[in-house]
Structure 1
């Protein structure tokens, strides 16, 4: 449930005051139980107007889960693997491209950037540097990721929520929505975007990590993916896009992290994985190919 009036609030919260990101973003959060808004900070919790309370974790994020969820989120091992790969700069070409496209096409009135299934906030952080008049919000299911996301940038807050369920956000409140390798609930994306807001998608291209996929028998990219995305976002028009392609130079431990950071890792035999990776040269070239698209509603 979401309060109808919540979607009509003026999006005018400044970033020049001394509030924390969570304090500021709370004005755009809704109660996952009753839909009431806004949430207010009360010592170590957020509280809705009808009295529902949500504890703020020691690391700074807050869980707004309604009790229903399809998945458990990434575990600590997957998050650590992703941190190793991203922290090593291996995906910097993608990060830079996403930041540039958002900075070039975001509405000038953007005050909130929402990163859905945003993990540790790796892609959100440089966008907030580029849009210093905006706050950021990472939405994810993984406590291990949110512990990092809540501290990744002074303008970024983090909440636990299932992106497949109604999001605990007021309508028409996000000038930018990011979806980088994550699930895409188009109904909720459409609801939370401002009238002139943009959604930025990053999805694996057909040759992404093909060298590892071939060796390990991992599931490839669905050739119908582009058609499925077009149908899912039928109410949107592409306004910018780019295929980012580069070569990763990885050692064995980095190759293991590349495999372990994705959902396909759960379906692999660890012994066979290690044997296949150990058979690689000491430094191996791996293809990275990501499709990035910026969409806006039809006008």
Structure 2
């Protein structure tokens, strides 16, 4: 059956409501006649118009992230995000479940953990995963077939109706505060994960990873000012023991992956010890929209 989350979708062309025109859930259409067919991997491409100025993650970057996350290195982070997000979905019913939008869903691992936690807690949940990289969404659609998976640009108007979702999760992804506030219901939750100073510092410099921006917390607060009220923030430290291959994947899967020299990275990894101790340091912030 088509996912329940389709009920809150808007056409990215004309902003009319979208619905499935087939029982299999393979074609979305609006009253104005715009149609979107699912790719063979199960996702929908909502990039329309002149396109985006942002560089989407490449196939190599996505493959590295998929393998790294599949190995479970960031599983404690995924569990912590689920712990904070799933309670906001409570109160839904199988016919009208609570809805989560995972903005910048990447390979879908964090959304998978959230949906698994919701099922364990017997909390009905519908989900939308959106990312600008078609390579990432292909992976996410396979990992989360019960979700609506979209290729889309978070900096454009989101293809979601006003007051339609209960939770927006943003894990190491861009933040469009005005649009997140628009699509969240009153009392909804915005859950954001950012790196803290010292994140991956044991390997970041050697591998060419980008450093943590100064005053990152202040920039986050400023970006949400006027649209969201802060509710909580908690720090999570995850100690990692990484193989040389893990370290290479970690470097390649992030923003620096667009520019890293693959052969130089492989040579560096080959010179690392069998295991390297690395500290992953996260901050998880929860806010609610101002109404």
* In the alignment, structure 1 residue 277 sits paired with structure 2 residue 260: no
* In the alignment, structure 1 residue 98 sits paired with structure 2 residue 81: yes
Task: Tell me if structure 2 keeps the 8 A contact 1:107–1:197.
Answer: no
Please say which of residues 159-168 and 213-222 is displaced more in the overlay.
213-222
Task: Tell me if structure 1 keeps the 8 A contact 2:102–2:129.
Answer: yes
Task: Tell me if structure 2 keeps the 8 A contact 1:64–1:159.
Answer: yes
**Cα gap change, 1:269/1:129 in structure 2, threshold over 3 Å: closer, same or farther?**
closer
Q: Could you state the TM-score of these two structures normalised by the residue count of structure 2? A: 0.90
Q: Partners of 2:45 and 2:231 in 1: how far apart?
A: 34
* In the alignment, structure 1 residue 267 sits paired with structure 2 residue 259: yes
Cα displacement string for residues 26-54 of structure 1 (whole angstroms, at most 9, x for unaligned residues): 22111111111133334742111100111
* In the alignment, structure 1 residue 57 sits paired with structure 2 residue 39: yes
Shift of 1:66: 1.7
Task: Tell me if structure 2 keeps the 8 A contact 1:149–1:157.
Answer: no
SS of 1:90's equivalent in the other structure is: coil
**Cα gap change, 1:32/1:122 in structure 2, threshold over 3 Å: closer, same or farther?**
same
2:219 paired residue number? 228
Pick from 243, 263, 275 the counterpart of residue 235 of structure 2: 243
Cα displacement string for residues 160-210 of structure 1 (whole angstroms, at most 9, x for unaligned residues): 110111111111111000000000011111111111110000011111111
Q: Counterparts in 2 of 1:175-214, with a 5 A limit?
A: 175-214=166-205
Q: Partners of 2:280 and 2:66 in 1: how far apart?
A: 17
Shift of 1:59: 1.4
Task: Tell me if structure 2 keeps the 8 A contact 1:210–1:286.
Answer: yes
* Count of aligned pairs between the two proteins: 279
**Structure 2: any 5+ residue segments left out of the alignment?**
none
SS of 2:109's equivalent in the other structure is: coil
Shift of 1:217: 4.0
Q: Could you state the TM-score of these two structures normalised by the residue count of structure 1? A: 0.88
Q: Partners of 2:104 and 2:273 in 1: how far apart?
A: 34
Task: Tell me if structure 2 keeps the 8 A contact 1:136–1:157.
Answer: yes
**Cα gap change, 1:104/1:39 in structure 2, threshold over 3 Å: closer, same or farther?**
closer
Aligned CA RMSD, in angstroms, stands at 1.8
Task: Tell me if structure 2 keeps the 8 A contact 1:106–1:198.
Answer: no
Q: Partners of 2:107 and 2:260 in 1: how far apart?
A: 24
SS of 1:123's equivalent in the other structure is: helix
1:82 paired residue number? 65
**Cα gap change, 1:289/1:194 in structure 2, threshold over 3 Å: closer, same or farther?**
same
1:115 paired residue number? 102
Shift of 1:247: 1.4
* In the alignment, structure 1 residue 48 sits paired with structure 2 residue 22: no
Q: Partners of 1:196 and 1:90 in 2: how far apart?
A: 32
Q: Partners of 1:247 and 1:289 in 2: how far apart?
A: 9
Task: Tell me if structure 1 keeps the 8 A contact 2:58–2:258.
Answer: no
Pick from 162, 170, 173 the counterpart of residue 171 of structure 1: 162
Q: Partners of 1:194 and 1:269 in 2: how far apart?
A: 44
**Cα gap change, 1:216/1:152 in structure 2, threshold over 3 Å: closer, same or farther?**
closer
Q: Partners of 1:154 and 1:218 in 2: how far apart?
A: 32
Q: Partners of 1:133 and 1:105 in 2: how far apart?
A: 11
**Cα gap change, 1:178/1:143 in structure 2, threshold over 3 Å: closer, same or farther?**
same
